[in-house]
Structure 1
């Protein structure tokens, strides 16, 4: 899941950096969480024209995700500070673990693509799995996963990487800076 929060272009992104530095460790031991990448986009950095806080979560347990969203000590801090953003959710179809450790992650890439009405969903899932597997074999990859959003019929791919090597980051997606990675359910 992901909840992008749009921020004004003159917003001081050090506020978000401080928030992640002081609060990011709170999910380092969160039950049911496979990974959280604390992602930002900053106007004028890496080609971004916007400021955005857009964390991405990979849950190992859907009840833990629900507990985070409407339980105490989770999403309530976001709602209190920024209002209730729209939460994007995807049904996972592929997961690949790369050789890069979480402490080396610097960037993430998110790509969405509409699934044609006539497309065979099994074929789409197989294609996503092949892409994730290929990305996970790259030495700079930490984690690659993909899923399908059945409310919009979009394929979604997400990858966390060390460095900004062009081989790791395709140009047809959204690039994020990653400030911290929580990974309680270790590989």
Structure 2
């Protein structure tokens, strides 16, 4: 499996209801897309009470069964339409060590994503085992609707991603991005 995310930073005064309408109108177009495990339509809105680095974002997150589905999407008309509306994004990808997905995934309303560096010479087998256990616990013990962990070996970056029905408390996820979920497409 492969995870993928691109992000568009929108102006501070951008009317985020435009993103909400776009998701409502077009979100269903990815339902049943070949090779897709899920696509979470994510957004974040700059708020007065948020830290100074918060931004208005449109940042969909995908989990693909294989690179073939991802390639079909990136080379297809949906991605062309997206780039014509928002510009040419940098697309981040991660090789997935483990993904745990609940049958209730479409009930997700919030998402969290954390990324960090993998230290040089880390015991990758032990890290993979530990992170796999953590992802499983997120779903089976903490109530996440989906949890995945992956890595990108060019920059040695780890990503943890979860989908939630309820907004997680911000103190629990101090170093994570919290997004609103407008729609979840599944295969």
TM-score by length of 1: 0.90
Question: Which among 75, 79, 83 is matched to residue 83 of structure 2?
Answer: 79
Deviation of 1:165 after TM superposition, in Å, equals 3.5
Deviation of 1:93 after TM superposition, in Å, equals 0.2
Determine the structure 1 residue equivalent to 2:94: 90
Alpha-carbon spacing, 1:177–1:12, altered in 2? closer, same or farther (3 Å) = same
Return 5+ residue gaps in structure 1 as ranges. none
Alpha-carbon spacing, 1:45–1:157, altered in 2? closer, same or farther (3 Å) = farther
Deviation of 1:23 after TM superposition, in Å, equals 0.3
Determine the structure 1 residue equivalent to 2:176: 173
Task: Tell me how far apart the structure 2 counterparts of residues 28 and 180 of structure 1 sit (CA, whole Å).
Answer: 10
Determine the structure 1 residue equivalent to 2:40: 37
- Are 2:93 and 1:67 equivalent residues in the alignment? no
Deviation of 1:45 after TM superposition, in Å, equals 7.6
Return 5+ residue gaps in structure 2 as ranges. none
Task: Tell me how far apart the structure 1 counterparts of residues 22 and 6 of structure 2 sit (CA, whole Å).
Answer: 16
Alpha-carbon spacing, 1:8–1:34, altered in 2? closer, same or farther (3 Å) = same
Task: Tell me how far apart the structure 1 counterparts of residues 39 and 48 of structure 2 sit (CA, whole Å).
Answer: 22
TM-score by length of 2: 0.90
SS in 1 for 2:26: helix
Determine the structure 2 residue equivalent to 1:57: 62
Q: Is the 8 A contact 1:38 1:180 kept in 2?
A: yes
Task: Tell me how far apart the structure 2 counterparts of residues 58 and 168 of structure 1 sit (CA, whole Å).
Answer: 27
Task: Tell me how far apart the structure 1 counterparts of residues 73 and 148 of structure 2 sit (CA, whole Å).
Answer: 21
- Are 2:174 and 1:182 equivalent residues in the alignment? no
Task: Tell me how far apart the structure 2 counterparts of residues 165 and 88 of structure 1 sit (CA, whole Å).
Answer: 24
Determine the structure 1 residue equivalent to 2:166: 163
Deviations 1:43-79 (A, max 9, x none): 11883621000000000121111010012x2211111
Question: Which among 119, 131, 143 is matched to residue 128 of structure 1?
Answer: 131
In the alignment of these two chains, the number of paired residues is: 182
4+ long deviations beyond 4 Å: none
Q: Is the 8 A contact 1:33 1:59 kept in 2?
A: yes
Task: Tell me how far apart the structure 2 counterparts of residues 61 and 87 of structure 1 sit (CA, whole Å).
Answer: 16
Q: CA RMSD in A?
A: 1.9
SS in 2 for 1:151: coil
Determine the structure 2 residue equivalent to 1:148: 151
